[in-house]
Amino acid sequence: MTITQLLYALAVAEHKNFTLAAEKSFVTQPTLSMQIQKLEDELGVQIFDRTTKPIQLTAIGAVIIEQAHKIVNESNRIKDIIDQEKGFIGGEFKLGIIPTVTPTLLPMFIKSFVGKYPKVHLIIEEYTTEEIITRLRGGYLDAAIVATPLELEDIREKVLYYEPFVGYIPQHFQQEFDGKLTTDQLDLKKLLLLQDGHCFRDGIINICKNKSADTDRPFSLESGSFETLIQLSKEGLGYTLLPYLHTLQLNTEDQRNLMQFASPQPAREISLIHTTNDLKLQIIQALHETILGIIRGAIAFQDVKIISPKKK
């Protein structure tokens, strides 16, 4: 049994396809298949059920893959210890980011980070929070940027910033409010939300006093785009809430439709998270410091009330 064989098995378990796993592992498909067959022969069990599409793990295969993650992570830890001892910051680093943060935060720090740490091969992957947690625990991500607090024992959180919610309220809806929004004024029957699965949607639902979701509308919406919500609002179909950093990108016309919440402003907490295995801590710390140094100049709200991204 070799680390390489375990890495190939992990690739197949992730991609559920031998050809794709070989491509991602930078080997030929026959080579990968042969090594996995050798591993199965040595163990005397079948790890993958090759009769299904996509390929699935057998019952014992699932146990083996879980242990393979631990073994590979521990082997990586040896190199990580040496890198830290030498003060080296480099290597491949997979960073997950939730979709409601990627378009605003990523352009702010990516150029600065890669310029300061050119030996780090940063791989950005966009997932929902639930997918990120699964991939972090499975060893497929090294760290992630998500809305917190998550309150998970095996996940560490390093707060980056607090981002207020801002109302996008077209003129014909603004008469329902008294200059500034309050959480008890929001009506979920008029509030346009992102599709289910987005923690930003869950956070908004958690701040609303009226918990009856959009049941009386003549349409249902499944969108992951703030731009779509803005356009529907402009058509008079409702109003929406946006994260503060997103509002900085709006044109002058759309800026007129923004309304701030009365203090304390409801806000989401955005953090850099990673598992407790202490892998690649030097890169995690460098990333945290880089983002903090940039974000302080763009967002500095004090009187905020943090809204949990979890459904209550």
- pLDDT for 112-128, tens place per residue? 999 999 989 999 999 99
Question: Is there a domain that residue 283 lies in?
Answer: yes
Our CA angle for 274, 68, 59, nearest 5°, is 110
Question: Is there a domain that residue 309 lies in?
Answer: no
Side chain identity at 199, as an amino acid letter? Answer: C
Clarify whether residues 69 and 93 are in a common domain: no
Looking at residue 109, which CATH number applies to its domain? 3.40.190.10
Question: Is there a domain that residue 310 lies in?
Answer: no
Q: Which two tokens stand for residue 283?
A: 């890169």
Instruction: With cut-offs at 50, 70 and 90, classify the pLDDT of residue 207.
Output: low
Clarify whether residues 229 and 273 are in a common domain: no
Clarify whether residues 147 and 293 are in a common domain: yes
Clarify whether residues 231 and 298 are in a common domain: no
Q: Which two tokens stand for residue 94?
A: 């997979």
pLDDT tens readout for residues 62-108: 999 989 988 887 787 787 778 777 777 888 899 999 988 999 999 99
Range(s) of the domain holding residue 276: 89-161+268-304
Clarify whether residues 157 and 168 are in a common domain: no
pLDDT tens readout for residues 256-288: 999 888 888 888 899 999 998 777 888 999 999
Q: What's this model's pTM, rounded to 2 decimal places?
A: 0.75
Euclidean distance between CA atoms 141 and 96, whole angstroms: 7
Query: How far is residue 42 from each of residues 75, 107, 122, measured CA to CA in Å?
Result: 21, 48, 36
Q: Which two tokens stand for residue 155?
A: 């996940």
The structural domain count of the chain equals 3
Clarify whether residues 188 and 230 are in a common domain: yes
Clarify whether residues 217 and 151 are in a common domain: no
Residue ending a domain, choose from 27, 50, 80: 80
Clarify whether residues 36 and 101 are in a common domain: no
pLDDT recorded at residue 195: 62
Residue ending a domain, choose from 28, 47, 80: 80
Instruction: Cite the beta strand spans of 14-108 per DSSP E.
Output: 48-49, 56-57, 91-97
Clarify whether residues 59 and 186 are in a common domain: no
**β-strand pairing of 143-148 with 258-259:** unpaired
Clarify whether residues 50 and 65 are in a common domain: yes
Question: Is there a domain that residue 312 lies in?
Answer: no
pLDDT recorded at residue 302: 63
Clarify whether residues 259 and 273 are in a common domain: no
Please state, as a whole number, how many other Cβ atoms lie within 10 Å of the Cβ of residue 311. 11
Clarify whether residues 239 and 282 are in a common domain: no
Q: Are 43 and 9 in contact, with CB atoms under 8 Å apart?
A: no
Residue ending a domain, choose from 58, 80, 102: 80
